[in-house]
């Protein structure tokens, strides 16, 4: 299996944070990919149809915020490409309120039936991953060209919270924006898909998750304190909340979402 984490092309970089490519040409048994909360929406292309939880998954799936853990199952050899968007882009690119997609990924053809059919055919007929990326880049660039202006307040808030996901930063950001707590919450639910407090906790979990994956620690207590958890037990409870397993069990699998 080949895994690549790529930076987006300059023309889409204001809306796309990173790109994940997984190629697996030796699938004998169904391949299961866990999907965990990471604070950002994404567009997922799979060269084969599969299952998302208990539901059928088509070739192109649009995800909003993922809070509850899910599993993508692919039955045969595949190429998977995921475009991870900036957290505030659902409304501006796709024209729907972000909370409508929270834990409710949808087939892209429900939004753009004709465009998705053409996009899907081009992707399935592409000969290389580079060709697939070029096709997806062009599709997303067209969305950007037709996009509504993103909410600058939400963009500011998500950047601040993601870079320092502490309870204190949440209070400071709300004060910086000069909005009430209720307005702050509505702004996040509409543009991000979750309340500010939950978004902060997801960002905190994801930062710790990256540290866990890179094995940049000696014991779990190091991760807990480095990421602002009260203690190791607090970190383990949060990890189980977002993954349904413990950090130690996760490491045994040797996989990441």
> Would you state the pLDDT for residue 254?
56
> Would you state the pLDDT for residue 207?
97
> Would you state the pLDDT for residue 257?
41
Average pLDDT, the chain: 95
Q: Write out the chain in H/E/C secondary structure.
A: CEEEEECCCHHHCCCEEEEEEEEECCCCCCEEEEECCCCCCEEEEECCCEEECCEEECCEEEECCCCCCEEEEECCCEEEEEEEECCCCHHHHHCCCHHHHCCCCEEHHHCCHHHHHHHHHHHHCCCCHHHHHHHHHHHHHHHHHCCCCCCHHHHHHHHHHHHCCCHHHHHHHHHHHCCCHHHHHHHHHHHCCCCHHHHHHHHHHHHHHHHHHCCCCCCHHHHHHHCCCCCHHHHHHHHHHHHCCCHHHHHHHCCCC
Q: Which CATH architecture has domain 2-145?
A: Sandwich (2.60)
Q: Which CATH architecture has domain 152-253?
A: Orthogonal Bundle (1.10)
Enumerate the β-bridge partners of residue 74. 31
> Would you state the pLDDT for residue 32?
96
> Would you state the pLDDT for residue 255?
47
Question: Domain ranges in the chain?
Answer: 2-145, 152-253
Give the chain's residues under pLDDT 70.
Answer: 254-257
Is residue 224 a contact partner of residue 49, using CB atoms and an 8 Å limit? no
> Would you state the pLDDT for residue 253?
77
């Amino acid at each position: 299996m080949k895994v690549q984490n790529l930076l987006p092309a300059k023309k889409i970089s204001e809306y796309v944070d990173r790109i994940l490519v997984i190629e697996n040409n030796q699938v004998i048994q169904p391949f299961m990919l866990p999907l965990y909360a990471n604070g950002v929406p994404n567009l997922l292309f799979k060269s084969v149809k599969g299952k998302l939880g208990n539901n059928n998954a088509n070739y192109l799936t649009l995800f909003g915020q993922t809070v509850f853990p899910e599993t993508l199952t692919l039955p045969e050899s595949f190429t998977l490409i995921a475009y991870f968007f900036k957290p505030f882009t659902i409304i501006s690119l796709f024209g729907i309120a972000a909370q409508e997609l929270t834990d409710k990924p949808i087939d892209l053809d429900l939004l753009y039936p004709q465009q998705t059919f053409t996009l899907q055919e081009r992707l399935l007929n592409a000969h290389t991953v580079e060709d697939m990326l070029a096709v997806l880049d062009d599709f997303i660039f067209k969305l950007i060209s037709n996009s509504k202006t993103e909410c600058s307040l939400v963009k500011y808030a998500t950047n601040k919270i993601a870079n320092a996901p502490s309870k204190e930063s949440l209070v400071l950001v709300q004060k910086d924006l000069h909005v009430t707590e209720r307005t702050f919450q509505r702004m996040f639910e509409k543009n991000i898909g979750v309340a500010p407090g939950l978004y902060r906790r997801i960002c905190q979990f994801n930062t710790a998750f990256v540290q866990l994956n890179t094995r940049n620690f000696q014991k779990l207590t190091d991760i807990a304190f480095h990421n602002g958890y009260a203690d190791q037990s607090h970190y383990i409870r949060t990890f189980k909340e977002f993954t349904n397993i413990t950090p130690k069990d996760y490491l045994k699998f040797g996989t990441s979402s």
